[in-house]
Amino acid sequence: MTAPRRPLPAPRGELSAQVVELLTRAPGSPAPPVGELDPYGEDLSLTLHTCYELHYQGFAEVADGWEWDPGLLGLRGALERQFLAALRADVEGGDDVDGELARLLEPTDGDVGIAGYLAEHGTPDLLREYFAHRSIYHHIEADPYAWVIPRLRGQPKAALVAVEFDEFGGGRGERVHARLFAELLAGADLDPGYLRYLDLVPAPMLALVDMMSLLGLHRALRAASVGHFASVEITSSPASRRLAALARELLPHPACARFYTEHVEADAVHEQVMRHEVIAALLADEPGAAADIVFGIQATNLLEDRFSGHVLGRWAAGRTSLREPLPQSAAASTEV
């Protein structure tokens, strides 16, 4: 059964307000002009996310024709150029793929920092808050990488499909990782419905998910998408082990730990596949792809660190890291 589409999000600035209003009209209506925006700010991040969502599930009462509307695509392209320019300016760059892959297994401030904070100061409510942030990512966990498949050939393509097969449950709908995360949300007394917490999640997480869509949708950025995917798979297993232990300690429902235990062994295997059968094979075919792979890894680290810094800063100040506090309980929608 198809889940009902979520409503359009609440605007966070002038441009997002204009785009949300635009999407209530018929496709072909003129898009607003785009000025200079904070590339990591709420207005740009939400506007990009809204445009990208038209390529996923879409929004209630928004015509499907908006997905490929030329005017809206032009607006999206202007925002992408600002966002991508900021990412390129804020990372070191280079073409040392082996060095970047090795650094992924070194201690960092990303989820290790959040998990470390939760290990010392964690409460069920803080862990639920973290889950709400991550829901924006995990509802489309493997989807953006599927766009890369037709842009690869030979061994890199076959190996990436093998990883995606696992992400999508090995052919079993109940094992799809997005479904497992929805069950985690329900087990944590959160609403498991698709993007239910979009209005509460601030720009640092939206920017990370926007980057995934940006890299996936542009053929020219296919190697950067591979770098991003590799960084996720290589860092996932140790982080998932810590989060599974925290979930067992702080939340009683077994679904909360099950999502992470699923990733501990699977992603340890995926790490090797991504390193040796996707990246190494891609570089053998396309040595010039090294700089884009490095960019994908570094941009992921940059945005994960920004997200971690936001969350930890708010928690250290005794404040919610969301735009508003979570409700105490949520209705248990079963459609995801």
Residue-wise pLDDT tens digits, 276-288: 999 999 999 999 9
Q: What is the reported pLDDT for 330?
A: 45
Q: What is the reported pLDDT for 113?
A: 87
Q: What is the pTM of this model?
A: 0.94
Q: What are phi and psi of 282, to 5 degrees?
A: -65, -40
Q: What is the reported pLDDT for 1?
A: 44
d(CA 82, CA 72): 16
> Counting beta carbons within 10 angstroms of the beta carbon of residue 20, is it exposed (0 to 12), middle (13 to 18) or buried (19 or more)?
buried
* Structural domains for the chain: 14-89 (no CATH), 94-316 (1.20.910.10)
Please name the amino acid found at residue 318: G
Give how far the C-alpha of residue 187 lies from the chain's centroid of Cα atoms, to the nearest Å. 21
d(CA 262, CA 247): 13
Q: What is the reported pLDDT for 267?
A: 63
What are the pLDDT digits (tens) for 168-185? 988 898 889 999 999 999
Q: What are phi and psi of 287, to 5 degrees?
A: -55, -30
Mean pLDDT of each 10-residue bin along the chain, 336 residues long? 82 98 98 98 98 97 97 98 98 96 70 83 96 97 95 97 92 91 97 97 98 98 97 87 94 94 78 92 96 98 97 97 84 39
Q: How far is CA 39 from CA 14, 81, 84, 309, in A?
A: 15, 9, 8, 17
Q: What is the reported pLDDT for 333?
A: 40
What proportions of the chain, in percent to the nearest 5, are helix, strand and coil?
A: 70, 0, 30
- CB atoms under 10 Å from CB of 147, counted, come to 18
Could you give the angle at the alpha carbon of 321 between the alpha carbons of 125 and 53, nearest 5°? Answer: 105
Q: How far is CA 322 from CA 138, 206, 300, 307, 336, in A?
A: 17, 12, 21, 11, 22
Kindly give, in sequence order, each residue whose CB lies less than 8 Å from that of residue 11, ignoring residues fewer than 6 positions away: 17, 20, 46
Biggest alpha carbon distance in the chain?
53
Torsion sign, CA atoms 225, 226, 230, 231: negative
Q: What is the reported pLDDT for 336?
A: 42
- CB atoms under 10 Å from CB of 249, counted, come to 14
> Counting beta carbons within 10 angstroms of the beta carbon of residue 58, is it exposed (0 to 12), middle (13 to 18) or buried (19 or more)?
middle
Q: What is the reported pLDDT for 235?
A: 86
d(CA 324, CA 199): 9
Q: What is the reported pLDDT for 331?
A: 38
